[in-house]
């Protein structure tokens, strides 16, 4: 392939915590058509980290200062959840294309406002859903499309972790108003994957709990979705699992797929590995899932994870007008389910005893 002669897409990144520093900055840096131009952070340690890891990137102290640079083609919003809407809207109003990390916004109404603004400004607005490129999710997608499971009737998907100490933001009063909590954190991934596989939802049922002392938001949640297609998705996310269950159990009328262990790309990024490195995105053999038909069970090699495909899709959108790798409409549908889940959980608590 002939290298592009176009100038790199200049990216401004808002936030350099887990989302910005671990996911976005490395993936932007691994995308040859992009350059990380500037980062918003006021933390001295994070400023030093930016200088070490991306020496050509400037650091600025505010979103206003970032947008005043005037030379950006794309802004990535990786700030705390409660600021996603305000930061995304500010960038759109400056006439810059925007990627917003999950959750896309605190409400579906906010998400619709962002979409309308982007259309009026004629710029791209793209939700970040990297876990569509988890290797195990790609494996589930392939097994379903190949017919290996037959007609799927139940999809069980989990993110279970053991975190004794809660995040500081989850302990603060008012955390429920800033899109914090398990449903906004991990369930946004689970919901997005279920919608990508099985389409629109007709019914939502949910249970939420606050299990660790002092938390102000849900740290344990279960959501059951009934899809218009007839498939039922059972989605669990918790930080209170001292023993971890299967990441996936997918049942069809011809077979079932069971998978333990999570996609390795997050740990690889934290360890300094990058797309293109030897073994990038490869799942260890002892983490492969199994396919069974009631009589025989066989190991299924996990597809290679490929988070870099998200940013490759962004490049195609900005340069060639291709459909975005994730659309605002998909994020809006997910947020409608988030809101319905919280209503369902609240209705359960309101039942008289």
Q: What is the pLDDT of residue 350?
A: 66
Phi-psi region at 214: left, alpha or beta (left = phi > 0; alpha = psi -120 to 50): left
Q: Which residues of the chain have pLDDT under 50?
A: 1-3
The verdict on pTM exceeding 0.85 is: yes
Q: Any residues with CB less than 8 A from the CB of 157 and at least 6 apart, and which?
A: 190, 193, 194, 233, 234, 235, 236, 247, 248
Rounded distance, CA 95 to CA 123, Å?
7
Contact between residue 172 and residue 339 where contact means Cβ atoms under 8 Å apart: no
Phi-psi region at 280: left, alpha or beta (left = phi > 0; alpha = psi -120 to 50): beta
* DSSP run (H or E) holding 198: helix 188-198
* Structural domains of the chain, ranges and CATH numbers in brackets: 9-128 (3.40.50.720), 131-306 (3.30.360.10)
* DSSP run (H or E) holding 39: strand 34-40
Q: What is the pLDDT of residue 4?
A: 55
Rounded distance, CA 111 to CA 109, Å?
5
Angle between helices 188-198 and 328-350 (to 10 degrees): 120
Q: What is the pLDDT of residue 353?
A: 56
């Amino acid at each position: 392939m002939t290298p592009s002669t176009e100038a790199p897409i200049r990216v401004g990144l808002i936030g350099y915590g887990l989302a910005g520093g671990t996911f976005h900055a490395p993936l932007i840096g691994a995308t040859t058509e992009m350059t990380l131009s500037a980062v918003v952070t006021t933390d001295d340690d994070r400023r030093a980290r930016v200088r070490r890891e991306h020496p050509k990137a400037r650091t600025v102290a505010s979103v206003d200062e970032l947008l005043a640079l005037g030379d950006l083609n794309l802004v990535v919003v990786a700030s705390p959840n409660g600021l996603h809407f305000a930061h995304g809207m500010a960038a759109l109003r400056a006439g810059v294309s925007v990627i917003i990390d999950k959750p896309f916004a605190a409400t579906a109404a906010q998400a619709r406002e962002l979409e309308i603004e982007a259309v009026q400004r004629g710029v791209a607005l793209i939700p970040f859903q990297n876990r569509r490129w988890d290797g195990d999710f790609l494996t589930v997608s392939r097994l379903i499309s190949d017919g290996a499971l037959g007609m799927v009737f139940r999809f069980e998907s989990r993110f279970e972790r053991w975190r004794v100490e809660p995040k500081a933001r989850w302990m603060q009063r008012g955390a429920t108003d800033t899109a914090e909590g398990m449903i906004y954190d991990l369930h946004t991934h689970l919901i997005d994957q279920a919608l990508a596989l099985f389409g629109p939802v007709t019914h939502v049922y949910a249970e939420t709990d606050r299990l660790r002392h002092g938390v102000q938001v849900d740290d344990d949640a279960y959501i059951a979705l009934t899809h218009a297609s007839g498939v039922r998705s059972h989605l669990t996310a918790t930080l209170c699992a001292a023993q971890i269950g299967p990441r996936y159990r997918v049942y069809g009328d011809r077979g079932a797929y069971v998978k333990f262990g999570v996609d390795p790309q997050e740990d690889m990024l934290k360890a300094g590995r990058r797309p293109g490195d030897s073994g990038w995105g490869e799942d260890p053999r002892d983490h492969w899932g199994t396919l069974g038909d009631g009589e025989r069970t066989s190991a299924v090699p996990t597809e290679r994870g490929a988070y870099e495909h998200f940013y490759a899709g962004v490049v195609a959108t900005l340069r060639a007008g291709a459909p975005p790798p994730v659309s605002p409409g998909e994020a809006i549908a997910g947020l409608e389910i988030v809101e319905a889940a919280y209503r369902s959980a609240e209705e359960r608590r309101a039942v008289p005893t």
